[in-house]
Amino acid sequence: MNRYEVFMKVVEKGSFTKAAEELGYSQSAVSQMIQTLEDELSTMLISRSRKGVTLTPDGREFFPFITNIHHSYRELMEKSKEMLGLESGNIRIGTFSSVSCHWLPSLMKDFKQIYPSVHFQLQQGDYTSIVQYIKEGSVDFGFVNPKAAGGLQTVPLKEDEMLAVLPVHHSLADHRIVTLEDISKEPFILLEEGELSEPLEIFKENDLHPNIQYRVHDDYTIMSMVENDLGISILPQLILNKVSYRLVTKEITPPIVRTIGIAYKNKKTLPIASRYFIDFMIDKFGQTP
């Protein structure tokens, strides 16, 4: 266990005791590693109080640099495991709800049948935060709309149509197709996806302005709000599979289609387990790298 990882865990938990318990170390050993790091940097990084631990001003300045070192060290250890083959490995993925609910479980299950010792770590977010996770190294790769992944390598996997989501007794519920103009006149619940929003892009292209009443990060919360007549929304078809909410979904004209893909910094430097899983998914979706 390196002192950078210990430092990150203490900050995350806000407590030397909780960090020690999770890492399987004694509290004195954790304190000693933090002291060693502070001696190395000739400053105090963490301040203790009855309320827990907080970063000192110098600690806040050093934090992003220590984070980068921690992730680089982790990549180094994964590379050393690569020399021993794919007997173990941790695949860290940035993802959003529709993918983590409807794609990843079956993909992980099938992959673990081939490589049973591999572990998965999922980190939820929107397009913008997932791109940031990739760039800072806290995930190996992530699912995003490739348009949102500037500066990263991307592989498109599949297109996903977005549908209008309405309460069952809404005046538009008996329409075969609803227009963007129809939607723009209704109280609208926007799915927050970071800096890129496919619905907002289409509204803008058609010189329309939706009546946004709520901005929500969770698809399922939006479905519940629509069910309770708080407004209407536009959600991806993928997330609307297997839902129990009392809703009506309608195609939209002009249609809104999002591309779902994966993004990473450099495939050649990824841990072997993540590279294998990416190739596995590309094969499943019938794409070529």
- From first to last of its 289 residues, the chain has per-residue pLDDT tens of 578 888 888 888 888 888 888 888 888 888 888 898 888 889 999 988 877 788 999 889 998 888 888 888 877 777 666 655 566 688 999 999 999 999 999 999 999 998 888 999 999 999 999 999 999 999 999 999 999 999 999 999 999 999 999 999 999 999 999 999 999 999 999 999 888 899 999 999 999 999 999 999 999 999 999 999 999 999 999 999 888 899 999 999 999 999 999 999 999 888 888 999 999 999 988 754 4
Fold of 158-258: D-Maltodextrin-Binding Protein; domain 2 (3.40.190)
Rounded CA separation 205/46 (Å): 50
The CB-based long-range contact list for 276-279 (8 Å cut-off, 24+ gap) reads: 276/86, 276/111, 276/115, 277/91, 277/107, 277/111, 277/118, 278/141, 278/155
Residues spanned by CATH 3.40.190.290 within the chain?
158-258
Rounded CA separation 178/109 (Å): 38
Options 3.40.190.10, 3.40.50.300, 3.40.50.11540, 3.40.1380.20; CATH for 89-157+260-284 is 3.40.190.10
Instruction: Check: CB of residue 88 under 8 Å from CB of residue 117.
Output: yes
**H helices within 83-170, ranges in order?**
97-102, 104-114, 127-136
Q: What pLDDT, on a 0 to 100 scale, did the predictor assign at position 182?
A: 96
Q: What pLDDT, on a 0 to 100 scale, did the predictor assign at position 87?
A: 60
Angle in degrees, 0-180, between the axes of helices 3-13 and 57-82, rounded to the nearest 10: 130
Rounded CA separation 142/130 (Å): 6
Question: In whole angstroms, how far apart are CA 205 and each of 100, 101, 202, 210, 235?
Answer: 30, 31, 5, 12, 18
Domain 3-82, second-level architecture: Orthogonal Bundle (1.10)
Would you say the C-alpha torsion 71, 75, 76, 80 has a positive or negative sign? positive
Q: What pLDDT, on a 0 to 100 scale, did the predictor assign at position 67?
A: 86
Q: What pLDDT, on a 0 to 100 scale, did the predictor assign at position 246?
A: 94
**What secondary structure letter does DSSP report for 15?**
-
Enter the pTM of the model: 0.69
Residues spanned by CATH 3.40.190.10 within the chain?
89-157+260-284
Phi, psi of 6 (to 5 degrees): -65, -45
- 115's CB contacts (< 8 A; 6+ apart) are 86, 89, 273, 276
Q: What pLDDT, on a 0 to 100 scale, did the predictor assign at position 289?
A: 42
